[in-house]
Amino acid sequence: MERGALRAMIPASRPIARAAFCAAAALLSPLPAAARGPDFDFPAAVAGFARGPRTDYESRAPGLGTSVAYTNGRWKADIYVYDGGVGNIPDGPSSPPVTGQLTQAAADIGTAVAQGIYRGAVQVPGSAGARLACRGFTIDHPALGPTESLLCLTGLRGKFVKFRLSGPAAKPLPKAEAERFMTDWLDRQ
């Protein structure tokens, strides 16, 4: 909201009311992408992907953390950093809390199909590496059509780090490019 518009809404004779209204408006404004989230770095660019907006879920729902979107012109990569209310999240992809989160995230995609958010989703073979546990999906999105989506998770410094890379199925993201984005981001932490 423009500063002049705020002044017009609250009379000049009420400076305390104006200050309170301005503070509330600032809290409700979308957050610009920040270079740092809580304990994590979100660089302006990672492996050819440019940083976009940051969303703070934690202030509205403790445990849900923050996310930052990145794009490379064809694909969108969202990074979510959160604890989900879970204590003692070990580093790496193979602990029960991390594998449980991956199973839950995959089930959430199935729920989105059942609710009509997606027209369909098929899990495709994915691989787990030393740093990330991953699952791939082909999703029939009503607005976007057939979409490839790669979902990867790991634990890092007591948090879950979830990557979701999505783009058109007609132009799949090469596996090496997806891995480079995720490992480059992890290497900067």
Domain ranges across the chain: 1-30, 31-187
Q: Encode pLDDT of 140-184 as tens digits.
A: 988 888 999 999 999 999 999 999 999 998 888 888 889 899 999
Q: What is the pTM of this model?
A: 0.77
Mean pLDDT over residues 24-48, rounded? Answer: 62
What span, in angstroms and rounded, lies between the C-alpha atoms of 162 and 154? 7
Q: Sorting pLDDT into bands at 50, 70 and 90, what band is 46?
A: very high
**pLDDT reported for residue 176:** 85
Q: Encode pLDDT of 65-108 as tens digits.
A: 999 999 998 899 999 999 999 999 999 999 999 999 999 999 99
Superfamily designation of domain 31-187: Mog1/PsbP, alpha/beta/alpha sandwich (3.40.1000.10)
80 contacts: CB under 8 Å, gap ≥ 6: 65, 66, 67, 160, 161, 162, 163, 164
